[in-house]
Chain A
Amino acid sequence: MKSFMKVSPLRLLDMSVEKKLGPGNLGVLIARAGVGKTACLVHIAFDRIFSGESLVHVSVEETPDKVASYYNVIFYDMIKILELENEEDLRLMVERNRMILSYVKGSFSVDRLRRSLGNLKQNLSFAPQTIIIDGLDFEVTPREFFEELKGLSKEFSTETWLSALSHRHKLTKNEEGIPYPCSEIDDLFEVIIHMDPTTEGVYLKLLKDHGHTLGQHVSVRLDPNTFLVVS
Chain B
Amino acid sequence: MKEDIQKLRNIGISAHIDSGKTTLTERILYYTKRIGVIHEVKGKDGVGAKMDSMELEKERGITISSAATHCLWKGHRINIIDTPGHVDFTIEVERALRVLDGAILILCAVGGVQSQSITVDRQMRRYGVPRIAFINKCDRFGANPYRVLNQLREKLGMDPVLLQLPIGLEGDFQGIIDLVKMKALYFEGPHGESIREEEIPDQMLEEASSYREQLLDAATMYSDDLAEAVLDGHETEEMIHLALRKATLAKTLTPVLVGSAYKNIGVQPVLDAVNMYLPSPTEVETRALDLDRDEAEVFLKPDPGLPVVALAFKLEVTPYGQLTYLRIYQGSIGKGDELIITRNRKKIRVGRIVRMHADEMEDIERGYAGDIVALFGVECITGDTFTDGSVNYSMSSMHVPEPVISLTVKAKDNKSQENLAKALGRFSREDPTFRTYVDPETGETIISGMGELHLDVYVERMRREYKADVETGIPEVSYREAITQRAEFNYTHKKQTGGAGQYGRVAGYMEPSKGESYEFVNAIKGGVIPSEFIPAVDKGFLSCLEKGPLLGYPVLGIKVVVNDGQYHPVDSSELAFRQAAVGAFKQAYMKAKPIILEPIMKVSVECPSEYQGNVMGSINQRRGIILSSTEDGTFTTIEAEVPLAEMFGYATVLRSLTQGKAEFTMEFSRYGKAPESVVEEIKKAKTTSRRGGK
Contact = CB atoms under 8 A, between A and B. Distances in A.
Interface of A: 63-64, 67-68, 95-96, 99-105, 107-108, 112, 115-116, 118-120, 122-124
B306 interface: no
B613 interface: yes
Interface string B534-573: 0000000000000000000000000000000000000000
Given A95-B625, A96-B625, A123-B620, A64 B630 contact: yes
A226 to B, nearest CB: 23
A100 B628 contact: yes
B628 A64 contact: yes
A64 B630 CA distance: 7
B79 interface: no
A122 B627 CA distance: 17
Contacts of A96: 625
Contacts of B629: 64, 99-102, 116
Contact of A102 (B612, B613, B626, B631): B631
B632 A120 contact: no
20 contacts: A64-B628, A64-B629, A67-B628, A68-B627, A96-B625, A99-B626, A99-B628, A99-B629, A100-B629, A102-B630, A102-B631, A103-B630, A104-B631, A105-B632, A108-B631, A112-B609, A123-B613, A123-B617, A124-B616, A124-B620
B616 A100 contact: no
Contacts of B139: none
A100 B629 CA distance: 6
Given A119-B616, A123-B613, A123-B620, A112 B628 contact: no
Choose among A96, A107, A108 the residue with the greatest number of B CB atoms under 10 Å from its CB.
A107
A2 B390 CA distance: 69
Contacts of B626: 99, 124
A96 B641 CA distance: 11
B627 A103 contact: no
B526 interface: no
B633 interface: yes
B630 A120 contact: no
B612 A115 contact: yes
A107 B627 CA distance: 19
A105 B633 contact: yes
Contacts of B630: 63-64, 101-104
A99 B628 CA distance: 6
Nearest to A63: B630
Nearest to A119: B613
Interface string B587-618: 00000000000000000000001001110110
B178 interface: no
B632 A104 contact: yes
Contact of A122 (B609, B613, B625): B613
B632 A107 contact: yes
B639 interface: yes
Contact of B639 (A64, A116, A122): A64
A102 B614 CA distance: 18
A1 to B, nearest CB: 21
Contact of A107 (B614, B625, B631, B639): B631
A118 B613 CA distance: 8
Given A64-B639, A118-B613, A107 B628 contact: no
Given A100-B627, A124-B616, 10 more contacts: A64-B629, A99-B627, A99-B628, A102-B631, A104-B630, A112-B609, A115-B609, A119-B613, A123-B620, A124-B626
B295 to A, nearest CB: 25
Contacts of B631: 101-104, 107-108, 112, 116
A107 B609 CA distance: 11
The 3 residue pairs across chains A and B that have the minimum distance between CB atoms:
A64-B628, A100-B628, A119-B613
